[in-house]
Chains A and B, each alone.
Chain A
């Protein structure tokens, strides 16, 4: 039986998350202390060496991202807790169970890039997490562990697109959460035009252990190109709907059958969607891929946020994809043409297919629209939105064809 390996969740269920002394007793804030005795550039190079890659979905080397930050009087560390991908609840779990690991990670990042102000952008769906975090920040301030580093929590208003880093920045600035074009990247010109590092909760929560145990230790865990662990959330037709943290060389099959306890009701697996609602639909025949960024990408899929959404043999793929199309139609910010209009038309056509009113022309239209959107949209939302459609058209085309002209 393979076991979880807990780095970011190392304290989960072991300490009282409401109580900072529990965290300190478990060795908390030691890493920050250590980091403070290091030169910022040494921290950056350590993180670079650890090959910690962004856990929000883009998979960019965190240390490298930090190294692009130019000199500036004001810089910001922004933590992305706008976990909006359906099927994903890992960041909530991390923060719920151990908020100080995140705070410590942010402070380390702050020291590394020379910033003394951090923001946590928490999605509007988690008002209780905002309170939980504010409580933790207040305790940390009282203890003085954060030193000069100040952290403020901002709550989103219910917009999936704000998970995109520049939309998130716009939202913190009090604007409509519309993504900016890049370049300039936030690292150069971000929040209030100042250099800003935006990292996902899980990325930042890895930092204390990396500083404590060193880059070498971390880079030896899991897959060689995407080392460490990945926190995964299991949902759908799976026995154990749980949050787990496993080394990145764990396969999808292991995740579903070892940790997830297999398919509910003893049914067979039809498909698994990994990485959130824009992720690819992976047929049962292809689940021996390890859940590391590159292996997934090489197979034509995405790791994304690490959501594992399982569908059993009875599920109607077209119906689920139709629902997903509605999600994107609802969440498109409307700024760029191909996404605003494309997500709307995708949903229209999916509805038509799902209701048995479509012809094969409609499949061609979907394919064309998806192809253009994935290349021409302004931000990741629009580029990824056709993913489920395109991958199911590839792997589950028969399910579409079965629904054509049924009425």
Chain B
């Protein structure tokens, strides 16, 4: 808790720094813990309901615990026609989970995302923000192996 408070307090002087604080929290916890929402509301002088409303608005913010590595696959139109569906299936079968789920060991969370702005290399996958380009089903095991 002290830690959560410290992280949020770093942004307390920044007007509107709530979202920045959430990013910083996610960097450490991979999600925004419940007590962090309450603490952030207090520090930024907004209601808890509002702090929660903000946290649930943005796709990249999560109020539910997630894995250590967040794998996101783009399925916007350019990646879609480049075969995103097949890559999704490959990840699902490698990880043994569906999109939106976290592996039982808490290591990976697999999410769908919209365009991440790397359309020169569709299909695009990001793992904790790091992009992988021109991903094909065949490349999936090797990508995951980097995190084993």
Contacts and interface: CB of A to CB of B under 8 A. Distances in A.
Give yes or no for direct A-B contact (beta carbon below 8 Å).
Answer: yes
B132 interface: no
A159 interface: yes
Contact of B129 (A127, A242, A307): A127
B117 A83 contact: yes
Residue from B44, B77, B116, B121 whose CB has the most chain A CB atoms within 10 Å: B77
Contacts of B113: 125, 158
A306 interface: no
A84 B58 CA distance: 13
Contacts of A192: 15-16
Interface stretch (B18-26, B88-96, B101-109): B18-26
Interface residues of B, number: 38
B17 interface: yes
Interface string A178-191: 10000000000000
Given A173-B15, A277-B77, A88 B23 contact: no
B57 A177 contact: yes
B119 A157 contact: no
Interface string B16-38: 11111011000000000000000
Residue from A128, A178, A233, A235 whose CB has the most chain B CB atoms within 10 Å: A235
Nearest to A124: B60
B57 A125 contact: no
Interface string B101-141: 00000000000011111111110001001100000000000
Given A127-B129, A155-B23, A157-B23, A85 B57 contact: no
Interface residues of A, number: 51
Interface in B47-87: 50, 53-54, 57-61, 75-78, 80-82
A327 interface: yes
A53 interface: no
Residue from B19, B50, B80, B113 whose CB has the most chain A CB atoms within 10 Å: B19
A202 interface: no
27 contacts: A83-B117, A87-B78, A88-B119, A124-B23, A125-B60, A125-B126, A125-B129, A127-B129, A128-B130, A155-B23, A157-B23, A157-B58, A157-B60, A158-B58, A171-B19, A173-B16, A174-B16, A174-B17, A174-B18, A174-B19, A174-B44, A175-B16, A273-B77, A320-B80, A323-B77, A324-B77, A327-B76
